[in-house]
A and B are shown apart, each in its own frame.
Chain A
Amino acid sequence: MMRPRWRKVLSDLIGNLGRSLLVVLSIAVGLFAIGILITNHRVIAEDMVTGYRAVNPANIMLVTTPFDDDLVERVKSVKGVRDALGVHKISLRVQTVHGDWIPMDFNAIPDMGTQAINRVHLLEGTWPPEDKEVVVEQSKLSEIGVGLGDWITVELPSGKTRRLHFVGIVKDLTLGAAAGGGGFFLAAPQGYITPATLPWLDQNEAWNTLYVTVEEGNDEAAIRQVAQRVRREVEAQGVLILSSAVRTSENHPNRIYVDAVVGVLFVLGALVVFLSGFLITNTLNALLAQQMVQIGVMKLIGARRWQVAGIYQVLILTYGVLALLLALPLSARFSYVLLDYLANRINLQLQGFRVVPLAILVQVVLALAVPQGAALLPILHGVRVRIHEVISGIRPSEAVQTPHWIERLQKRFRGLPRPLLISLRNTFRRTQRLILTLITLTLGGAIFIATFNTQAAIERYIQQLSRYFLADVNLTFEAPQRIQRVKNDLAQVPGVGHVEGWAYTRADLMGEGDQVLDTVQLIGVPIETTLVTPILREGRWLQAGDRNVLVVNERFRATLPNLHVGDTLHLRINGSERDWVVVGFLQLAGQNLGHLAYVPYDELSRQLGQSGRGLLFRVAADRANLTLAEQEDLARRVDAYLKGRGYNISEARAGLSVLEKTAKGLDVLTNFLLILSGLAAIVGSIGLAGTMSLNVMERTREIGIMRAIGASDGTIRLLVIVEGVLIGLMSWILASLAAFPISRLLSNVISHAIFNAPALFAYTPTGFLAWLGVVLVLSVIASLLPARTAVRLTIREVLAYE
């Protein structure tokens, strides 16, 4: 037979199922949250690196004029090169299921079955494709809208169309890795074809993109040195390099989003550990406060302190184990739901479900050691309890006085309702407990509000980004067009208002010696442009009289940390090098977009030999605030009209849709934070509900006494609710204050990862109000439920209650 003391543990556990459930849930919810945060933190950071490394990504990417296999073989023998691969990349327009034409990148790769560099993962269908077949990368497939087995119509430069059989879906982790491509989110849909398909698409079979892996693929400096040698070899063969990029084998193109996510998870993880610790301490304090009489009785009948302590340590250990059993599988499962969500959106390849030892270790420590630690003081306090005080119910050692301010309040406002005064006194009579409760609720609330604020900050920033996309239609031509002619033609399209022609090119950003640091996208805008109002962080925007000046985006800060306004950049455009002076720093949608700079149109077009011509056109409608559908309609009409006039258009896209695409990475973070704020709400709510309920449970006896002396059920309910709401409101005020530094911290973590600068700050009333709602509703429910149970008991039962 089980010893009676352990029977007590068991019967305490089962006999008060409601309370046990609350305690277990209070512990479990913290474990659950921390399990998710750590699992996500570890898996996402590890899988990004291992997943990316596993596809053997190119360390050097050169976009060039056509070359053949001879050059590939020569590059393979360059010192430091491990492997090289020539690929033919072309951008052709394809028709979406809605009938629109959008650009799609086709990659013609030799020996696709044994592709050694930039390997793809087959998700569905067949790999490699046969001739005249295409395999499509999954992350952008929805933009085309076709299904596996369908035919994709491709428009050739001549205007003819071809139909490719869509036979497979793959995941390509290197998407967005190429320089000057705008990163993953701005990348066009990707198709993979055999080199033999190229002539059928009116393309020559020569390669125009060189992928190189190097021996020391994790050392960026070493890669740059090898890149330098490769460039020399390529150029020595008379091949012109149009753009180049280097990247380590562990530097996933969406690394900044992973960094942001990992940073957020780290901050929240640390906060949740604290929250969980306080929640556990608070819950166990309340639990032991309820057990004081029983502790006194056990000591009365012969129990020594270590025996009493042992009973509660085992009870708490049991709560911890139960919470652990609940939290471990749930957190592991939910972690992977969240990871799947992230992996799909930021193009990660998860390495499969696995147990994260650190997550389990922290959960075990939190479940077993923290409750023991948290309960140590209450247990020590409990075992030292004076028997005669607890069994008589008179405890001068814990005698508390009504705070003076409540007495003053009572004197000043004589009309204050009696229940309110009693509730006020009850709330403040155990200051220590109140402080612990408030810390727990404050931390839960502050995390919730802070995640909301951070999310709002990103959303607000996405709205601000529209200042770069004021045009209703963004047009990209296959080749530069005379601006005046295009303007005249567009004037014939109903609904078109203002039109601007912009110049565009890619340039090499030169470092010391002859070293190419990276590719820069240069956008030449008219000085008087009305279609861009940049978000300037430093310096100024372009102005009349400017010549070789540029306003650069946030990515430059990462590449050149010491770059300041007034400094000179050395750029190589079409083989000729010139100095450009940085006059301002602007902020766009993050470092992922690559190096991008706005320059005066006149200067860039002159250097390109394209004066009076533009590659990009920005079209504003003749009325403001068009919806996305209206912009798309205008884009379709502009596209059709210009095609009819013989123009070759690469893309005609609604401004809002470009904004949406540009901000998609930030959107992922917004949604991720929304999920985390839900998690914070669950932790905070259960903490709130548990604390309130235990507070009321503790006073079951007092409720019985009040009923015995004539208090109606309604009065008791009112007292309990007022007290619950008072605590809830106090915690809300404190949470609102604490949310400010936490919001700032979270925003900073994201800002630094995305923009390399502290850029995002916003406070939205939504989080504050939402938490106020949660606090009020939960305070009432969590106080009312145990109070309802208490008033249902007969007075005799209640007075006998322990």
Chain B
Amino acid sequence: MLNPSLSNSAPVSAATPSPIISLRGVKKAYHTPAGDFWALHGIDLEVYPGEFLGIIGKSGAGKTTLLNMISGIDALTEGEVLVNGVRVHDLDEDRLALWRGRTLGVITQNFLLMPTLTLLENVLLPMDFCGLWQGRKSVERARELLRQVELEEHIHKLPSAISGGQQQRVAIARALANDPPILLADEPTGRLDSGTAEGILHIFERLVAAGKTILMVTHDLSLERRFSRVVWIADGRLVADRQAALG
């Protein structure tokens, strides 16, 4: 699966602007009754604006932990994470939440929508928390985002009334609510059939084309060709990093 010929360092062209995400010597240990478990062993990674980065690895390789380090939802054991020039792990919890809400859109495998809110309200919620859009403007924006993911007819439905694929599109719309420059997607197609998954990937490609930076975790090797760049992770270490063939 691994390609030993590929370098572990990012082969970035000289014309590449400064990275939007930088990880330096990132280590993460979990303390368990059986002793410390090292999920990440000193990760160095730079991600550049407009990249569609695939993070591929087996289950338990450390993919999700890596994303969590970037989003700041889990604490570092060692190292440094800079996103958009901000040292993520230096922020206190509330600043981090606000920063995350404005800078990152997070999409997960199990959608994590608010079950008692309509689709429109789910998309409005991050805007309400972060305060970038308010009142009628926020509603117009939420409607527009839902239109972009082709759910405008369902905006007043509850998540339980739509399919899994549709829920994931709502999660994408929600992730875009505050117009963050970066999207972090953790196995976003993991629970979807191939047709629906294809639709989600199309949306991501459109977003990248529009200038968003997307980091997507997957264990599905077949998706490798869809990314502009792929890093391979195994046992908490990046073992390969290359520009995708079609990237």
Interface residue ranges, A against B (CB under 8 Å): 1, 3-5, 7-8, 11-12, 15-16, 293-294, 297-307, 384, 386-388, 391-392, 396, 797, 800-802
How far does the alpha carbon of A358 sit from the alpha carbon of B127 in the complex, in Å? Answer: 44
Please, which residues of chain A bring their CB within 8 A of the CB of B125?
A: 4-5, 8, 298, 301
**Contact between A15 and B129, CB atoms less than 8 A apart:** no
8 closest residue pairs by CB, A with B: A302-B101, A15-B116, A11-B116, A387-B73, A304-B94, A4-B124, A301-B126, A302-B129
Q: Which residues of B contact A386 (CB under 8 A)?
A: 73-74
**A385 to chain B: closest CB distance in Å?**
11
Please determine whether A302 and B64 come into contact, CB atoms closer than 8 angstroms.
Answer: no
A301-B129, A305-B94 known; A396-B32 Cβ under 8 A: yes
- Contact flag A305-B93 (CB < 8 Å), given A386-B74, A800-B160: yes
Our pick among B112, B117, B121, B129 for the contact of A304 (Cβ within 8 Å) is B129
CB nearest to A8 among chain B residues: B117
Task: Indicate which residue in B93, B158, B178 contacts A302 across the interface (CB closer than 8 Å).
Answer: B178
> Is the Cβ of A5 less than 8 Å from the Cβ of B160?
no
Find out whether the CB atom of B97 lies under 8 angstroms from the CB atom of A299. yes
Contact B129 A298 (CB under 8 A): yes
B128–A3 CB distance below 8 A: yes
Interface pair A4/B117, CB less than 8 Å apart = yes
Which of A8, A302, A384 is within 8 Å of B114, CB to CB? A8
- Shortest CB-to-CB span from A801 to chain B, Å, is 7
Knowing A4-B121, A8-B121, A303-B97 are in contact, say whether A392-B64 is a contact too (CB < 8 A).
yes
Residues from chain A with a CB closer than 8 A to the CB of B127 are 4
15 extra interface residue pairs, beta carbon distance < 8 Å, beyond A5-B129, A386-B74: A7-B121, A11-B121, A12-B116, A15-B115, A301-B100, A301-B106, A301-B129, A303-B129, A304-B97, A304-B98, A304-B129, A391-B108, A391-B110, A396-B32, A800-B160
| Complex CA–CA separation, A5 to B116 (angstroms) | 11
Please indicate which of the listed interface residues B68, B116, B121 has the most CB atoms of chain A within 10 Å of its own CB: B116
Contact of B130 with A by CB under 8 A: yes
**Residues on the B chain within 8 Å of A391, using CB:** 108, 110, 112
User: A residues within 8 A CB of B30?
Assistant: 396
Which residues of chain A have C-beta atoms less than 8 A from B201's C-beta? none
Inter-chain contacts of A802 with B (CB < 8 A): 115
- Determine how close the nearest CB of chain A comes to the CB of B35; give it in whole angstroms: 14
For B126, list chain A residues within 8 Å (CB).
301-302
* B242 contacts A by Cβ under 8 Å: no
B: number of interface residues (CB 8 Å): 39
B174 close to A (CB within 8 Å): yes
- Point out the residues of chain B lying under 8 angstroms from A298, CB to CB: 114, 125, 129
Residues of A within 8 A of B108 (CB): 391
Return chain A residues, CB-CB under 8 Å to B115.
15, 294, 800-802
User: What sequence of 0s and 1s flags, for each residue 58-81 of chain B, a beta carbon within 8 Å of any chain A beta carbon?
Assistant: 000000100010010110000000
Min Cβ gap B228→A in Å is 26
B82 at the interface (CB under 8 A from A): no
Q: Cβ of B174: which chain A residues have Cβ within 8 Å of it?
A: 301
Instruction: Across the interface, name the chain B residue whose C-beta is closest to A299.
Output: B97
Interface residues of B in 133-153 (CB under 8 A from A): 135-136, 139
Residues of A contacting B: mostly: helix
28 inter-chain pairs at a CB distance below 8 angstroms, sorted by A residue, are: A1-B136, A1-B139, A4-B117, A5-B128, A298-B114, A300-B73, A300-B106, A301-B106, A301-B174, A302-B102, A302-B130, A303-B101, A304-B93, A304-B97, A305-B97, A307-B129, A386-B73, A387-B73, A388-B73, A388-B74, A391-B110, A391-B112, A396-B30, A396-B32, A797-B160, A800-B115, A801-B115, A802-B115
| Nearest CB in chain A: distance from B33 CB, A | 9
Q: Name the distance in Å between B120's Cβ and chain A's nearest Cβ.
A: 9
In the complex the two chains form, what is the Cα distance from A1 to B155 in whole Å? 15
Residue of B nearest to A16 (CB): B116
A302 x B117 contact (CB < 8 A)? no
In the bound assembly, the distance between CA atoms of A301 and B114 in angstroms comes to 11
The distance in angstroms between the C-alpha atoms of A72 and B134, with both chains bound, is: 87
Q: Give min CB distance, B161 to chain A, whole Å.
A: 11
Give Cα A392–Cα B158 distance, bound, in whole angstroms. 23
Please, which residues of chain B bring their CB within 8 A of the CB of A800?
110, 115, 160
> Shortest CB–CB separation between residue A794 and chain B, in angstroms?
11
Residues in B with CB closer than 8 Å to A11 are 116-117, 121
> Nearest Cβ in chain B — how far from A460, in angstroms?
55
CB distance from B225 to the nearest CB of A (A): 29
Nearest chain A CB to B123 CB, angstrom units: 9
CA of A801 to CA of B164, assembled, Å: 13
Contact residues in A for B158 (Cβ distance below 8 Å): 15
- A300–B160 contact, CB under 8 A? no
Q: In the assembly, what is the distance between CA of A303 and CA of B174, in Å?
A: 13
In Å, the complex CA distance between A802 and B121 comes to 17
Q: Is the CB of A302 within 8 A of B116?
A: no
- B159, closest chain A residue (CB): A800
CA–CA, A302 and B177, complex, Å: 11
Interface residues of B in 91-109 (CB under 8 A from A): 93-94, 97-98, 100-102, 106, 108
B110 to chain A, nearest CB (A): 8
**Cα(A700)–Cα(B64), bound, Å:** 26
| B contact residues around A1 at 8 Å (CB) | 135-136, 139
State in angstroms the CA–CA spacing of A287 and B175 once bound together: 27
Most A Cβ at <10 Å: residue of B102, B112, B126, B175 = B112
Residues of B within 8 A of A305 (CB): 93-94, 97
* Residue ID in chain B nearest A384 by CB atoms: B93
Within 8 A of A (CB), among B203-229: none
Please report the C-alpha to C-alpha distance between residue A801 and residue B158 in the assembled complex, in whole angstroms.
Answer: 13
What residues of A have a CB within 8 angstroms of the CB of B93 in the complex?
304-305, 384
Residues of A contacting B100 with CB < 8 Å? Answer: 300-302
Provide the residues of chain A in CB contact with B117, threshold 8 Å.
Answer: 4, 7-8, 11
Minimum distance in angstroms from B170 CB to a CB of chain A: 12
Residues in chain A near residue B130, CB distance under 8 A? 302
In the docked arrangement, what's the CA distance between A11 and B118, Å? 9
A540 to chain B, nearest CB (A): 72
In the complex, A550 Cα to B130 Cα: how many Å?
Answer: 87
Report Cα–Cα, A145/B125, bound state, in Å. 73
Q: How far is the CA of A2 from the CA of B178 in the complex (A)?
A: 19
Nearest chain B residue, comparing its CB with the CB of A796: B164
The minimal Cβ–Cβ distance linking A474 to chain B, given in whole angstroms, is 72
Chain B residues near A294 (CB, 8 Å)? 114-115
Q: Which residues of A contact B128 (CB under 8 A)?
A: 3-5
User: Cα distance A299–B74 when bound, in Å?
Assistant: 12
**A301 touches which one: B64, B68, B74, B101 (CB < 8 A)?**
B101
Q: Is the CB of A302 within 8 A of B98?
A: yes
Q: A305-B94, A388-B74 are in contact. Are A297 and B114 (CB under 8 A)?
A: yes
Q: Mark B159-202, 1 if CB is under 8 A from A, else 0.
A: 01000000000000011011000000000000000000000000
A802 to B158, CA, bound (A): 13
| Complex Cα gap A16–B178 (Å) | 29
| Chain B residues, CB < 8 A from A16 | 116
Q: With both chains docked as a complex, state the minimum distance between the C-beta of A312 and any C-beta of chain B, in angstroms.
A: 14
* Best-buried of B74, B97, B108, B117 by chain A (most CB within 10 Å): B97
User: In the complex, what's the smallest C-beta–C-beta distance from B192 to chain A, in angstroms?
Assistant: 13
Q: State A693–B206 Cα separation when bound (angstroms).
A: 47
Which residues of chain A are within 8 angstroms of B71 by Cβ–Cβ distance?
300
Question: Which A residues touch B106, using CB under 8 A?
Answer: 300-301
From residue A475, how far is it (CB to closest CB) to chain B in Å? Answer: 78
